Structure 1
Amino acid sequence: MDTDIMTIKEVASYLKITEKTAYRLTADGEIPGFKVGGAWRFRKQEIDAWIDERLKSGGKSD
């Protein structure tokens, strides 16, 4: 069974950014994520929606 939940390492790889950048963007509320036992987790469909929003806004943050 495939899951749509990704770790910080997986989301960093998916976005082709460093883990450090992924942590910073998540902590700043830029990337939608949630914590489970102190570790960040991300729903793939929310990451895809976040990407779509960035594309619609020309890559600018809200």
Structure 2
Amino acid sequence: MTERWLSVEEIATHLGVSKDTVYAWREKKGLPAHRIGRFWKFKANEVDEWVRSGSASESSEGDSR
């Protein structure tokens, strides 16, 4: 059985962050996402691997930390 596509709201809940954070991570940190029409969709296994790889914790120039 194939994994279903998750919406921005669902992946935000999965990660425990806001939708704005999901959009920011997609744009600035390379959160794996796929554009389907006008919507962004996510595969939980791709996002989980991205988190495990440490990409979520790498700071970028725009971070205030």
- State the TM-score, normalizing by the size of structure 2: 0.72
Instruction: Give unpaired runs (5+ residues) of structure 2.
Output: 61-65
Q: Is the aligned partner of 1:45 residue 2:45?
A: yes
Normalized per residue, which structure has more strand? Answer: 1
Give the length in aligned residue pairs. 59
**Gaps spanning 5+ residues in structure 1: where?**
none
Identity of aligned residues (%): 25
Cα deviation for residue 61 of structure 1 reads 5.0
| TM-score, scaled relative to structure 1 | 0.75
CA RMSD of aligned residues (A): 2.3
Instruction: List, as ranges, runs of 4+ consecutive aligned residues in structure 1 with deviation greater than 3 Å.
Output: 1-4
CA drift at 1:30:
2.5
